[in-house]
Amino acid sequence: MFPTVPSVTPEPPDRLPRGPHHLAREVVLASQRGRLLAAMAEAVAAKGYAASTVADVIARAGVSRKTFYEHFADKEECFLAAYDAGVDLLLGTLGEAGGDAQDPVAEVRLRTRAYLEALASEPAFARTFLIEVTGAGPRALERRDRVHERFAQMLRDQVAVARERFPEIPEQPPEVHLAAVGATDLLVSRLIGQGREGELAGLEDVIVRIQLALLTAPAPAPAP
């Protein structure tokens, strides 16, 4: 049995009790921030980044406008924080997947499955992570590019470990790892953009094939 994939959406802590309470201020702020991050992902998934407002976020989070601005300067800052939190959790999920695999192919499959299951289980985050980020402005696009590099680095590290056991696996230039990330992103984004998150599991075999083809391809012959 494969390990259960944890939620990747920043989970909103329980709402604080009404009336006087004795929670430390940092606990209150953490609870409010978590709810705001989750509410941002939900609002953007429902309405799109451009149409979502601070009012939408605070209504979903159950906090005041004043509380929102205690945590974030504006909608963009909240969106980027939600994006970063979700990405960190997703990368953590992938880092834990495949650790018990006996060979590189099994590890690629386990991590691919964990990625697809995580996105399918969190459609709001999936739309925010892959679709709405493209329309959230230059800072969001720069953030997305850095995330692609982080995924590519994870692949490089995975291949480096595999090459210690199987030195016949060819070493690839960094651009090949980034290309594997880009191909995966394209296939997954197409389904999510069409509201077909329930079909993501069907991409497992093709993504595994793409990654293995790119990461194990022999070096081309020198140009004449």
pLDDT in the model for residue 101: 64
* 31 assigned to some structural domain: no
- In CATH, what number is assigned to the domain containing residue 86? 1.10.357.10
pTM: 0.80
Q: How many domains does the chain have?
A: 1
**Half-sphere exposure of residue 28: CA atoms within 13 angstroms, side-chain side:** 12
Is 27 among the domain residues? no
What per-residue confidence (pLDDT) applies to 17? 43
pLDDT at 143: 93
| Amino acid 52: pLDDT | 96
Residue 66, in any domain of the structure: no
**Percentage with pLDDT > 70 across the chain:** 83
Q: Is residue 133 part of a domain?
A: yes
Average pLDDT per 10 consecutive residues for the chain, totaling 224 residues? 39 45 49 90 93 96 94 96 89 80 83 93 88 93 94 90 85 91 95 93 95 81 66
pLDDT at 23: 42
Find all residues with CB under 8 Å of 154, minimum gap 6, and list them: 91, 94, 95
- pLDDT score at 8: 52
Rounded Cα gap, residues 183 and 197, in angstroms: 17
- Tell me, yes or no, whether 116 lies in a domain: yes
7 within some domain: no
The per-residue pLDDT for 196 is: 93
Any domain includes 37: no
- State which residues form the domain around 184: 75-215
Give the alpha-carbon dihedral of 119, 124, 130, 136, to 10 degrees: -160
Whether 220 is in a domain gets the answer no
